[in-house]
Amino acid sequence: MLSKNVCVVGAGYWGKNHIRILHELGFLGGIVESNKETLNRFAEQYPDVKGFLSLDEALQDKSFLGFTVATPAKTHYPVAKQAMEAGKHVLVEKPLALEKKHAEELIHLSEKNNVNLMVGHVLLFHPAIKKIKELINKGKIGKLQYIYSNRLNLGQVRTEENVFWSLAPHDISVFQYFTNSFPTSIHASGSAFLQEGIHDSTLTQLKYPSGVEGHIFVSWLHPFKEHRLVVIGTEAMITFEDSSEGKPLKLYAKKIDMEKGIPEKIDGPVTLIDYEQKMALTEELQYFVSHLDGKKPNIANGQHALEVTKILIIANKQLENIG
């Protein structure tokens, strides 16, 4: 029999997905939600799950080994801190924290209390992203040169954070995963049309020690949904269209040959790459639960999240300076 030893904090836009999947997996034991009406609605839907109006109440229940945190970004730090101080393993949604010192403190707390800290960089669990990493490592595209990501849609507009904090963590985490290094150069620019001081679209350019470069374009002021990742190598190229039907992953045997000093276009075949059809969030939550015995997570752990947070903070300061 599966143990219902995980409690979800926050039953809103993304928290409801934690609740649904953990319940399907048989691990959901509790829900913390400060809105009584919302909590009652989930109590009716999941009568076998305990409901709490506060984290304090939930932490009194000794049956919970782990907590997932799906609350607004500004609350991630205090909620995760309280849970880890109580000796609980924590999976907090991205970003880990809004300040570098808070992210570092959470990592220190996890080490001090010997509990796991994971962050919801869910794309690291996407089978297509894992397949791209495998292709890069096997040299299927030659030497990695350039990565770019477009994450665009009409909405969901937030009022408490800009589009960069809302969407770019996904792509930054993937870039870190592919490059295994911290950028030597970060440059961000953007525009705020809907709300003063809250950017609707941003373009961030990154340079890495190996010479790899990349850009991340995010916007919630775009006429259609586009989630596109392009990876360029010296011998081939990869595209992943996460917003297209079938979510195709393609390998292009294409390059520009400069061996004789004259650019020559090599236009080879395009191959559709198979990958496992698994839900990334399900994989992430299963991974979290599988480490409730104290095994240290190697994916989406606190150190990886700290790197992502540092990049976010550096780029966001540049955005604030340009207004």
Has residue 1 got a pLDDT over 60?
A: no
Which of 120, 133, 111 lies closest to 67, judged by CA? Answer: 120
Has residue 81 got a pLDDT over 90?
A: yes
State what percent of residues in the chain have pLDDT above 70. Answer: 99
Cis peptide before 156 (omega within 30 of 0): yes
Fold for domain 6-121+281-300? Rossmann fold (3.40.50)
pTM equals 0.92
Write out the two tokens for 93. Answer: 């949604």
The CA-atom distances, in angstroms, between 62 and each of 7, 11, 33, 50 are: 11, 21, 18, 13
Cα–Cα distance between 240 and 274 in angstroms, integer?
Answer: 12
> CA gyration radius for the chain?
21
- b/e for 144-178, b at 16 or more Cβ within 10 A? bbebbbbbbbeeeebeebbbbbbbbbbbbbbbbbb
Cα–Cα distance between 202 and 221 in angstroms, integer?
Answer: 11
Question: What mean pLDDT value characterizes the chain?
Answer: 95
User: Are the beta carbons of 188 and 122 closer than 8 angstroms?
Assistant: no
Beta bridge pairs of residue 257:
264
User: Are the beta carbons of 38 and 16 closer than 8 angstroms?
Assistant: no
Has residue 291 got a pLDDT over 50?
A: yes
Question: Which of helix, strand or coil describes residue 301?
Answer: strand
State what percent of residues in the chain have pLDDT above 90. Answer: 93
User: Are the beta carbons of 280 and 123 closer than 8 angstroms?
Assistant: yes
Has residue 136 got a pLDDT over 80?
A: yes
Mean pLDDT of 271-277: 96
Torsion 244-245-249-251 (CA) sign: negative
Has residue 322 got a pLDDT over 80?
A: no
Domain assignments of the chain as residue spans, ordered by start: 6-121+281-300, 123-279+311-322
Which of 27, 31, 59 lies closest to 44, judged by CA? Answer: 31
Residue range 123-279+311-322 forms a domain whose CATH class is: alpha beta
